[in-house]
């Protein structure tokens, strides 16, 4: 399993700063991984004891097209393993415990500075169900309604993430371009921007084993394809922010580490 010292070493950080991502290895025991896998399936199937009205839930598309995915809104959408996204998982005790692992605190402090309060901007399940999945085009993760940008995401594979089942593909170093579409909440690149920033239209596939974690800079260009296999591609993606961030819509964020 990845150790705190290894992941915070100078060479690891140089690699992160250069490439905009860093593979952290497996941070979960087999039992802890299994518990998260079972928990998310129970949430999808409607059998979990959780405050469903406060979960943002979206069913996956059956066409693979982003615009055909279900509505993203609060509340349960029926018993199905074909959810694409389930957000606000910090309200679940098991996922909350995982979000609060000391290594995530240390990584956040490294990015935002010692002593900075850290909050969770979003904690979400991202799924490419068996033979489904929705194509996500090249984009950055950035937001137009915040007074400062959340800079990091910790993405944990809950299944094997492979090229065939729609693992995340990144363009190494592209976080250094800065924000490409500062006024567009989707962050999706236009065809002209793709030709400019990603002329080969290919990147590095982040293939991961279940339980492996990758640290991503939010401005790193990334995309992911549909799932061409019977094996689902479940993942848990948590974005950590400076806890002093203010949103123009009055949203409040869960404090994690003071």
For the chain, the DSSP string reads ---HHHHTSHHHHHHHHHHSEEEEEE-S-HHHHHHHHHHHHHHHHT-S-S-GGGSEEEEPPSSS-GGGSPP-EES---S-S-EEEEE-GGGSHHHHHHHT-HHHHHHHHHHH-TT--EEEEEEEEEEE-TT----EEEE----SSBSS---EEEEEESS-B-TTTT-EEE-TTGGGG--S-TT-TT-BPPHHHHHHH-TT---EE--B-TTEEEEEETTS-EEE----SSS-EEEEEEEEEETT--BTT----EEEE-
What's the closest the beta carbon of residue 216 comes to ligand AKG, in angstroms?
A: 9
We find the least distance from the C-beta atom of residue 13 to ligand AKG, in angstroms, to be 23
Of the pair 133, 243, the CB lying nearest ligand AKG is at 133
Nearer to ligand AKG, 117 or 172 (CB): 172
Identify which of residues 7 and 237 has a Cβ nearer to ligand AKG in the complex: 237
Of residues 6 and 68, the one with the C-beta less far from ligand AKG = 68
Residues of this chain that bind ligand AKG (CB under 6 A): 126, 136, 141, 168, 222, 224, 235, 237
CB of 165 to ligand AKG, least distance (A): 10
* Shortest Å, Cβ 49 to ligand AKG: 26
Query: Which residue number is nearest to ligand AKG in terms of Cβ?
Result: 224
Q: Quote the least distance from Cβ 114 to ligand AKG, whole Å.
A: 28
Q: Which is nearer to ligand AKG, 119 or 239 (CB)?
A: 239
């Amino acid at each position: 399993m990845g150790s705190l010292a290894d992941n915070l070493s100078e060479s690891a950080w140089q690699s992160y700063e250069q490439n905009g991502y860093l593979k952290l290895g497996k941070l979960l025991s087999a039992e802890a991984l299994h518990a998260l896998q079972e928990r998310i399936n129970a949430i999808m199937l409607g059998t979990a004891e959780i405050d469903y009205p406060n979960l943002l839930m979206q069913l996956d598309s059956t066409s693979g097209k982003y615009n055909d995915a279900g509505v993203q809104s609060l509340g349960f959408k029926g018993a199905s393993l074909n959810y694409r996204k389930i957000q606000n998982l910090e309200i679940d005790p098991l996922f909350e415990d995982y979000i609060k692992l000391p290594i995530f605190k240390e990584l956040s402090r490294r990015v935002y500075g010692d002593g900075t309060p850290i909050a969770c901007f979003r904690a979400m399940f991202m799924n490419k169900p068996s033979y489904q999945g929705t194509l996500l085009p090249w984009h950055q993760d950035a937001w137009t309604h915040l007074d400062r940008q959340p800079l990091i995401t910790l993405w944990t594979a809950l299944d094997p993430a492979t090229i065939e089942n729609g693992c995340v593909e990144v363009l190494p170093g592209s976080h250094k371009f800065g924000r490409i579409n500062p006024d567009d909440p989707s962050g999706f690149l236009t065809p002209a921007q793709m030709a400019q920033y990603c002329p080969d239209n290919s990147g590095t596939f982040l293939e991961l084993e279940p339980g492996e974690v990758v640290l991503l800079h939010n401005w790193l260009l990334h995309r992911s394809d549909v799932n061409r296999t019977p094996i689902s591609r479940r993942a848990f993606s948590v974005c950590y922010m400076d806890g002093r961030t203010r949103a123009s819509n009055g949203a409040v964020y869960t404090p994690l580490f003071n």
